[in-house]
Chains A and B, each alone.
Chain A
Amino acid sequence: MFALSTETLYRARRAKNIAAQVLASIATLFGVFWLVWIVWTTLSNGLAALDISLFTQMTPPPGEEGGLLNAIFGSILMSLLGVLFGAPIGVLAGTYLAEFSRTRFTARLGETIRFVNDILLSAPSIVLGLFVYTLVVAPMGHFSALAGAISLAFIVLPVVVRTTDEMLRLVPAQMREAALSLGVPQWKVTVQVLYRASLPGIVTGVLLALARISGETAPLLFTALNNQYWTTDLMQPMANVPVVIFQYAMSPYDSWHTLAWAGAFVLTVFVLLVSVAARAIVSRSRISND
């Protein structure tokens, strides 16, 4: 009797375990299935639409052939400006969190900033776009590439703050103590010792931020808007790849759809390359530290 009930209990547990493992494996296949489908669609449609004119011609009017030159230029320019505005402030703020919030008051302030930064990190980008709209576009009276770059900078900022903070805290305390005991002032310790030690990590943070903003669409809709023509004027609306993809994909024209797929392909490949590069830097530096 006793043996029988243990036997059934054992069987039930075994069955449950097998069912759970099968379901978990199916869940993984389910997740991977969609993602492979999406990447495959983008790559195959994009490769078919890829053409040299993509990089040599401007965005066309409906029904005509053209390329994405002005949009690619605009995306590169605004992303670089976004990193240029956001990353230095991010590195400094991360330095404050890791190195300078030591007294009781500043420690509490540091905790609050860290918390707010985490929220900013996952805040919807469309909200940041509206913020920059009321901050920059509305007072100026018109859309501009500068406003687009500023909205991207607000996305770069929390990513860089987070990685800088984490990377600086990974630097061993002995390094700080050794430098300080030689009489080196703290700012020099920070800039010449700590930044150097955590450089790969900080660069990774900046690259991840770059990967993230290069595909951002929502904030650019109300800041940089779009522009069918070539422009280098930061005070004017500027074309950029994500908004062009959005506009072209939503249009009824086949030639615009083709260009949208080509843009999606370029965007995806760029983002994946940058993320892989970022990860490679981290793993290499980890090996060299051991």
Chain B
Amino acid sequence: MNSIALPTAAIDDRAARDVRNDRRFAWIVGIAGVFVLVSLVAAAFSMLWGGRLAFQTFGLKFLWTDAWDPVNQVFGALVPIYGTLVTAFVAMLIAVPVSFGIAMFLTEIAPKWLRGPVGAAIELLAGIPSIIYGMWGLFVLVPVLSEHVYPWVDEHMGQWPIVGRFFAGPPMGLGMGTAGLVLAIMVIPFIASVMREVFLTVPGRLKESAYALGSTRWEVVWDVVLPYTRSAVIGGIFLGLGRALGETMAVTFVLGNAHELTTSLLMPGNSIAATIANEFAEADSEMYRSSLIALGFVLFLVTFTVLTIARLMLRQLAKKEGN
């Protein structure tokens, strides 16, 4: 009997140890999971904490005053917020239709052998560091625009009624229009690859039914593919918008770093991210630094909202796929 009792004891021992180790492992991975949750919350609070001096001093007025005066210690976020919104808006105006065209081309129009390489190229290009886009913008795009494009824009479009004020100004090349264009070039691969992926989730039989009824390619994309994927397409666009709003290096190079409120896209401006990147290392006073961190908090709130909408929209498609 003894010879049997011994192994059972060993087995019990072993089982107890396994249970203990399992519990430990579950705790470790659980803590790692919660760490992800905590880091986002901590990021928000740390910036609120870092910017407390600015928020306390200027109050909510911080959001809509346009003073930015390090000498007199008066700071307002209007100019950077305005610049961020304008450049992102210009970028989306260019990027959304182009991305839709690329996605349509890659899923419906291009011959099969071309789809793979072009799709892969666009995805690879989405990975190029944003500082490269910024450098290219500064050294290549800005001279071309200021010599050949902006003089023409100023002369012709600057005279238009109402919208003319957006296009009038000295053709120095740096400015919000240039920043918007560089941003658009940067987010096109992102939005296009999300749209392409989303379009590929449309069941083949839906499209085939439409083609069988005599639909043209355009009708299939506009009346079948797009309604089926609408929420996810909007999600993809918001994902690109989130990127455009928070992008730093690509715009810092070409925005001109000027704290002035202007309607003209040809004039230099500033964005939240560019202001922080340009001035943080040189911020010499507590108030200056705190105002920059407060700017970061504003950026965090804006992008958080946009990205939340994006994810909720994208999730709807995932649900549809699951059914």
Residues on A lying within 8 angstroms of B by beta carbon are 13-14, 16-17, 20-21, 23-28, 30-32, 34-35, 37-39, 41-42, 45, 89-90, 92-93, 95-97, 99-101, 106, 109-110, 112-113, 115-120, 122-128, 130-131, 133-135, 138, 154, 157-158, 161, 185-187, 190, 208, 211-212, 214-218, 221-222, 225, 242, 245-246, 249-250, 257, 260-261, 264, 267-268, 271-272, 275-276, 279
Q: Check: B106 CB closer than 8 A to any chain A CB.
A: yes
A246 CB, nearest partner CB in chain B, Å: 6
The residues of B that contact A158 with a CB separation of less than 8 Å are 36
With A17-B218, A27-B100, A126-B248 known as contacts, the answer to whether A115 contacts B132 (CB < 8 A) is: no
Contact between chains at A115 and B311 (CB < 8 Å): yes
The residues of A that contact B189 with a CB separation of less than 8 Å are 31, 35
With A96-B30, A116-B36, A272-B124 known as contacts, the answer to whether A16 contacts B216 (CB < 8 A) is: yes
In this complex, the member of A23, A110, A217, A218 whose beta carbon has the largest number of chain B beta carbons within 10 angstroms is: A218
B110 CB, nearest partner CB in chain A, Å: 8
In this complex, the member of A134, A157, A217, A249 whose beta carbon has the largest number of chain B beta carbons within 10 angstroms is: A134
Contact between chains at B273 and A96 (CB < 8 Å): no
CB < 8 Å neighbour of B109 from A25, A123, A133, A268: A25
Contact between chains at A122 and B243 (CB < 8 Å): yes
Contact between chains at B185 and A34 (CB < 8 Å): yes
Contact between chains at A42 and B22 (CB < 8 Å): no
- Chain B interface residue count: which class? 35 or more
One digit per residue, 1 when the CB lies within 8 angstroms of any chain A CB and 0 when it does not, for chain B 195-221 equals 000000000000000000000111101
Contact between chains at B40 and A110 (CB < 8 Å): no
Given contacts A126-B296, A211-B127, A249-B134, 6 further A-B contacts (CB under 8 A): A35-B125, A39-B128, A96-B33, A119-B308, A124-B299, A264-B132
B129 CB, nearest partner CB in chain A, Å: 2
The residues of B that contact A222 with a CB separation of less than 8 Å are 280-281
The residues of B that contact A225 with a CB separation of less than 8 Å are 281
CB-CB contacts below 8 Å: B237-290 with A? 239, 242-243, 245-249, 252-253, 273, 276-277, 280-281
Q: Check: B323 CB closer than 8 A to any chain A CB.
A: no
User: For the complex, what is the distance from the CA of A185 to the CA of B24, rounded to whole Å?
Assistant: 12
User: For the complex, what is the distance from the CA of A96 to the CA of B130, rounded to whole Å?
Assistant: 32
A155 CB, nearest partner CB in chain B, Å: 11
User: Can you list 5 contacts pairing A with B, beta carbon distance less than 8 Å?
Assistant: A28-B118, A38-B136, A109-B33, A134-B50, A242-B131
The residues of B that contact A215 with a CB separation of less than 8 Å are 128-132
The residues of A that contact B134 with a CB separation of less than 8 Å are 249
Q: Check: B105 CB closer than 8 A to any chain A CB.
A: yes
Q: Give B44's nearest chain A residue, CB to CB.
A: A131
The residues of A that contact B50 with a CB separation of less than 8 Å are 130, 133-134, 138
Q: Give B220's nearest chain A residue, CB to CB.
A: A17
Q: Check: B231 CB closer than 8 A to any chain A CB.
A: no
Contact between chains at A264 and B131 (CB < 8 Å): yes
The residues of B that contact A42 with a CB separation of less than 8 Å are 132, 135-136
Contact between chains at B29 and A96 (CB < 8 Å): yes
Contact between chains at B216 and A217 (CB < 8 Å): no
Residues on B lying within 8 angstroms of A by beta carbon are 18-19, 21-22, 24-26, 28-37, 39-40, 42-43, 46-47, 49-50, 97-102, 104-106, 109-110, 118, 120-122, 124-125, 127-136, 138-140, 185, 188-189, 192, 216-219, 221-222, 239, 242-243, 245-249, 252-253, 273, 276-277, 280-281, 293, 296, 299-300, 303-304, 307-308, 310-311
Contact between chains at B128 and A124 (CB < 8 Å): no
Contact between chains at B135 and A264 (CB < 8 Å): yes
With A13-B219, A272-B127 known as contacts, the answer to whether A125 contacts B248 (CB < 8 A) is: yes
CB < 8 Å neighbour of B277 from A93, A112, A218: A218
User: For the complex, what is the distance from the CA of A28 to the CA of B193, rounded to whole Å?
Assistant: 12
Contact between chains at A216 and B129 (CB < 8 Å): yes
Contact between chains at A23 and B216 (CB < 8 Å): no
CB < 8 Å neighbour of B47 from A97, A131, A161, A249: A131
CB < 8 Å neighbour of B43 from A21, A38, A127, A186: A127
With A27-B102, A93-B36, A119-B308 known as contacts, the answer to whether A127 contacts B133 (CB < 8 A) is: no
